[in-house]
Amino acid sequence: MSGFDKVVTSYEEALEGLEDNMTIIAGGFGLCGIPENLIKEIKRKGTTGLTIASNNAGVDGKGLGLLLEEKQIKKMIASYVGENALFEAQMMSGELEVELTPQGTLAEKMRAGGAGIPAFYTATGYGTPVGEGKEVREFNGRHYILEEALSGDFAIAKAWKADRYGNLMFRKTARNFNPMAITAGKIAVVEVEEIVEVGQLDPDEIHLPGIYVNRLIQGTFEKTIEQRTVRKA
């Protein structure tokens, strides 16, 4: 009996069942708080035809950028895709389909997907290319567009600390899209820096309850910094 114990011990097991042409919701902002080892495992598995929703698409050779090298991504749903030459090349040549989605709308689409809300109205994108072809409705004299929820066959995410039941704590701005991404995956796989025994986390300090988590794995992380900015003492 494993009960609520979500811990798996290999990355292979963590992504068991991930197949070609599936949709993945991924956490992370830039390279901060990305599930870097799960991405490497997708590369190793060679899964292709993937649709991936993530705020960014990594950079060359890091994060989701790794999955571009063997053209494993068919479609990317993201708010910002700069700083990635391979991405640009594949987008310009039409090999990679891109659906640019405003950052807040993307976060809310994931939240809605995990919360059983099929769609929502937002003013974001009204009157812009993002609003084209979408239902418009007026509330209190303002125009809003209908945006549909996002959910995936898998969610891949990174948290800081977890107990074996998958109760999660995030650290600083590495939280970003991770909680919503996890809720929006049919199979939510989370990698963390530390797994503690049940009872060691204060229930009041858990950021996301383990009910949303299906598989949990402890990893080690590179945590690449994109823009190392410092001030002088």
* Beta pairing class for 50-53 and 73-78: parallel
Q: Quote the tokens at residue 188.
A: 């939510």
In angstroms, give the least distance from the CB of 146 to other proteins.
14
Residue 172, interface with other proteins (CB under 8 A)? yes
- Closest by Cα among 47, 46, 84, 79 to 65: 84
Residue 225 in contact with other proteins, rule: CB under 8 A: yes
Please, which residues bridge with residue 98 across strands? 76
81 is a contact residue toward other proteins (CB under 8 A): yes
Give the integer Cα–Cα distance in Å for 103 and 122: 12
Would you count residue 226 as binding other proteins (CB under 8 A)?
yes
Beta-bridged to residue 73, according to DSSP, are 50
| Identity of the residue, 2 or 229, whose beta carbon is nearer to other proteins in the bound complex | 229
Stretch that binds other proteins, among 7-15, 44-52, 167-175, 210-218 (CB under 8 A): 167-175
φ, ψ for residue 130, nearest 5 deg: -65, -30
Of positions 43, 45, 171, 186, contacts other proteins by CB under 8 A: 171
Q: Contact between 223 and other proteins (CB under 8 A)?
A: yes
Tokens of 31: 């390279």
CB neighbours of residue 202 within 10 Å:
8
DSSP 117-135: --EEEESTTTTSGGGTTS-
The CB-of-195 to other proteins minimum distance in angstroms stands at 18
Q: Which stretch binds other proteins (CB under 8 A): 7-15, 147-155, 161-169, 217-225?
A: 217-225
The upper half-sphere exposure of residue 148, i.e. CA atoms within 13 Å in the direction of its Cβ, equals 6
CB of 198 to other proteins, least distance (A): 24
Is the CB of 15 or the CB of 52 nearer to other proteins?
A: 52
Residue 119 β-bridge partners:
148
Indicate which single residue of 11, 177, 185, 214 sits in contact with other proteins (rule: CB under 8 A).
Answer: 177
Where on the chain is the footprint of other proteins (CB under 8 A)? 29-33, 55, 78-82, 88, 91, 98, 100, 102-108, 110-111, 122-130, 143, 160, 170-180, 207, 223-233
